[in-house]
Each structure stands twice: as structure tokens, then as C-alpha cells.
């Protein structure tokens, strides 16, 4: 009985650490309640020397503004990539310095991962508010506490097509999932920065066109939150 109870408690903590809508401290956003047909496309990881230009070209072609949650180490390795994102009018967020699982990270690790990435973002001249997204969407105590103490918002998502193997197996399935599940105020999570994400990149124009056909307008995360 004790073993079963302990397992249940551990499993409950595990599920809570991955919650899209709840955390122990501070503000968390997975979607914004609004009557307006607006939606935020968000991209995690990078910037990538190989694929960032392609993604930016597609967004420019379709006149879409998005939010990029970038990794500090990759910003330092590719400052031209983040400059291109900023110059194209997109929003930049913090996705930690080295993309670790932050569930049980200690205070020093949390501070270092976030502050080093903030510094890399500011070093290229970005002036906007820097939202934060935890790697794998995981957080428990220390990370939300740090964010709350520093008046930082946690940005999650409510549409995540790549999280389902049957959906992620096809660009058409990825696009259909987003188009069918998006609602007013949705935040869509996509990964398009690496070679292994070719299906998501292939799905992106279909997603944009399909959401437009449903009447959605694309906004950044800050525009979504500020307009609630």
C-alpha cells in the first residue's frame, strides 16, 4: 500500500510538472480567452543557420508575424540568425541556455539558464519583453518561483501537433491537427529549426493557409496577451 501510494504521489507530481495551464507561482499562459479570431504561432529552438532563413522567408511571403523561443547557446553560435528574426519584426522569447529538463533544477541552474539567454538576446539589441518557455514544458517549484520573483510570464501552448506520433507522421496530419483544434486565442507550438523537423516545415504553409481560411489573424504572444 505504501509503495502504491508513493507511486501515485510521484505520478501526480510528474503530471503536474507538465501541466500546460497550471504552475505553483506566477503567470502562465497556454491560451488567451478572447472573442477575437487571433492566434499565435510559436517556434521553439534555434536559431538555425540552415533553416531559420527558410522559415523567415515563408513567414514574410505569407505576411505572418510569430514568436520564436530561442536557445541561448544557439543564439551565441548564430547571432545573425536572431538578428534576422528581429529585423523581420518577429518576437523573441527565452527557451533557456542549453535546453535542460528544468523540473528539479536548483536555483543557481535556473538563474544561469535564464539570465545567460536574456543576456544573449539583449546583446543583439532586442528591446521587447522577453517571455519564457520551459524546455519540454516542464516546471515544478524552483523555476516558477524564480519567474514569479522576477515578474516573468511562462508561455505554454494549447495546440501541439508534434506531441502525437500518429499526427507527427505526416505534414498533412500536422496541418490538419492545428487547423481543426485551433480556437480564438490559441498558442500553437511547432519545431521547425532542425533537419529532423522537415515535416513540420512542410506543414507550416498549409497551417497558415488553413487557419486564414478559417478567419484567423496571426499575432505575437505579447499582442495576444495585451489584447485579452
Q: Which residues carry out catalysis?
A: 44, 191
Residue 88: partners with Cβ closer than 8 Å, 6 or more residues away: 56, 59, 60
- CA–CA distance, 93 with 204 (Å, rounded to integer): 20
Three-state DSSP class for residue 206 = helix
H helix intervals, the chain: 2-17, 52-61, 72-77, 79-87, 107-123, 142-149, 165-168, 171-181, 198-213, 221-226
Q: Which grid cell is 133?
A: 518557455
Q: Which of 191, 198, 196, 210 is nearest to 135 (CA)?
A: 191
Q: Which grid cell is 225?
A: 496577451
- CA–CA distance, 21 with 88 (Å, rounded to integer): 30
Q: Which grid cell is 115?
A: 539570465
Amino acid at each position: 500500500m505504501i509503495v502504491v501510494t508513493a507511486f501515485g504521489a510521484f505520478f501526480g507530481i510528474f503530471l503536474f510538472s507538465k501541466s500546460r495551464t497550471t504552475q505553483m507561482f506566477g503567470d502562465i499562459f497556454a491560451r488567451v480567452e478572447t472573442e477575437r479570431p487571433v492566434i499565435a504561432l510559436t517556434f521553439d529552438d534555434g536559431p538555425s543557420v540552415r533553416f531559420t532563413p527558410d522559415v523567415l522567408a515563408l513567414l514574410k511571403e505569407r505576411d505572418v508575424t510569430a514568436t520564436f523561443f530561442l536557445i541561448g547557446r544557439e543564439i551565441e553560435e548564430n547571432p545573425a540568425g536572431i538578428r534576422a528574426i528581429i529585423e523581420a519584426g518577429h518576437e523573441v522569447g527565452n527557451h533557456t541556455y542549453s535546453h535542460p529538463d528544468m523540473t528539479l533544477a536548483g536555483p543557481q541552474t535556473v538563474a544561469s539558464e535564464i539570465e545567460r539567454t536574456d543576456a544573449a538576446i539583449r546583446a543583439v539589441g532586442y528591446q521587447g519583453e522577453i517571455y519564457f518557455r520551459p524546455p519540454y514544458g516542464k516546471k515544478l517549484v524552483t523555476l516558477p518561483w524564480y519567474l514569479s520573483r522576477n515578474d516573468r510570464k511562462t508561455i505554454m501552448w494549447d495546440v501541439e501537433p508534434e506531441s502525437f506520433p500518429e499526427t507527427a507522421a505526416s505534414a498533412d496530419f500536422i496541418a490538419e491537427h492545428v487547423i481543426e483544434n485551433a480556437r480564438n486565442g490559441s498558442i500553437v507550438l511547432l519545431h521547425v529549426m532542425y533537419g529532423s523537423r522537415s515535416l513540420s516545415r512542410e506543414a507550416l504553409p498549409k497551417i497558415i493557409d488553413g487557419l486564414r481560411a478559417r478567419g484567423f489573424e496571426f499575432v505575437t504572444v505579447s499582442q495576444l496577451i495585451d489584447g485579452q
